[in-house]
Structure 1
Amino acid sequence: MTNIYDFSARDIEGNERSLAEFRDKVLLVVNVASKCGFTPQYKGLEALQRAYQARGFEVLGFPCDQFGHQEPGDEAEIRDFCSLTYEVTFPMFAKVDVNGERAHPLYRWLKSSKKGLLGTEGIKWNFTKFLVDRHGEVVERYAPTDTPEKIGKDLSKMLG
């Protein structure tokens, strides 16, 4: 059976990272963008990271430019934006496609593991979020409109 630890992805610095390094942690995997109406959610995501990291939680950010060209920059521009604007400390990865033929294998797996509204797999917009438990399995899929604060309530239950 496949779980999130079977995947790897290039981080924002260009290094290939195995997601097995996050074994036994609760993860929130998010496709992010710098010029989106939901971009202010970076603040809430970082608040979750800081509040729950010591209890075994990580946010993983995956920039994506598939929705309205809202992530036009390169990795260095994205990293600088996140750091300077939102003081992001959670792991950020290189830009990926989340839909279509070139969708990253991680996102193919996430979407098939937890379908969206009305059973659809496709991601509809930036800031779609997948909650992964300590066993590496997807337990929840959140819409872009689901705020980090709402997700924090679910995290409290999962992290004990």
Structure 2
Amino acid sequence: MQSHKVLLEEVEEEDFRLIAIYCNIEAYRMAYLINEFLGLQLKRERKDVDFNHKSLEAFYAHFSFKDFANHRSYHLVANKFKGEPKKVLSSGSLFEEEEVRPLQVNLIPEYKKVDFFLKIEEELNGKDLNKLVHAIGQIPQVLTVYKIDTDFLKSKQNLIFE
């Protein structure tokens, strides 16, 4: 009997740039302001990014825009979700119901304080990326904005939206 050796091709990682945004506004408002200041047309996706954490199922607001002229896709996604943890109901308990506090979970746990991420798919040179960061920084409601080096990002898989 012959043995066959199967080689797996290298998995090509998706090329994208990532911008972290700190602000204290709702997701729809952030998308609107980015559209105004950057000239994009971000629209809310029909389905939010859902992620199953150990204690709860989280839904992160997701807005996207495909720029066919420049062959790029933009994704604005919330990093924070606050919800009630899953609880197991037991019968015959001495106490009626325990107080459940909302729990906050993050899409990218390495950046717990970041409110939103703007993911830019496809090639974008450093100069254009710096222009984007500067333009987002001009939005009055934005407290801080900076680029993230995706080579050192541990939870890249959480940023795959399709």
Q: What is the TM-score when the length of structure 1 is the normalising length?
A: 0.25
More helix by share: 1
Q: What is the TM-score when the length of structure 2 is the normalising length?
A: 0.25
More strand by share: 2
Which structure has the greater CA radius of gyration?
Answer: 2
